Amino acid sequence: MTTTEHGREAPLRYDADGTVRFHDSCVTDLDRPRFDAEWQRRAFGLAVALSEFRHYDWQDFQRELITAIGSWQDAPDEERGRWQYYEHWFTALTNVVARHGLLQDGYVNPEDRDGHPGPGSLDHHH
C-alpha cells in the first residue's frame, strides 16, 4: 500500500509482468527527473521509497537537502567544486538515513565487503 496525498492508503498497481505500474505522469511528464548516472537514479528512488514506506517524513529529507545545498553555497569558491544536484541529494540521503538510524554503524554492503563495489552498489566514485 502507498499513501495518497490526502493520507489515505492506496493499493499499488502492477503491470501484466508483475512490476509496479507508475502513474502516467512518472513516465510521460517532460519535467520528470533526469539522471546522468545509474547511482543518481538509485539515490533518488531510495530517498523516495524510504519516505513512502514511512522510515522518515519527506520534510526531513527536504530539510537535509536544503542544508546540503546551503553548505555548498556557503563554502569558499575554491572548495566548492562544480554544481552537481545529485551529489547534494546523496549527501541529504546519507544524513537522513544516519539520523533516523536506518543502518547500523559500520554497515558495509555484502558486495562491497571485499573492497570492490559490486553492480548493486550506490558507490559513485568521485
pTM of the shown model: 0.62
φ, ψ at 52 (rounded to 5°): -60, -30
CATH number of the CATH domain containing 71: 1.10.472
Q: How many domains does the chain have?
A: 1
Q: Is residue 67 part of a domain?
A: yes
pLDDT tens series, the chain, 126 aa: 444 454 555 566 677 777 666 666 555 555 678 889 999 999 999 999 999 999 999 999 999 999 999 999 999 999 988 889 999 999 999 999 999 988 877 776 667 766 555 444 455 554
Q: Is residue 91 part of a domain?
A: yes
d(CA 39, CA 43): 6
Quickly list DSSP for 84-101.
-HHHHHHHHHHHHHHHTT
Q: Is residue 119 part of a domain?
A: no
Q: Is residue 124 part of a domain?
A: no
Distances (CA, A) of 16 to 13, 20, 83, 93: 10, 9, 41, 32
Which regions of 1-126 does DSSP assign to beta strands (E)?
2-3, 9-10
Q: Is residue 113 part of a domain?
A: no
Q: Is residue 44 part of a domain?
A: yes
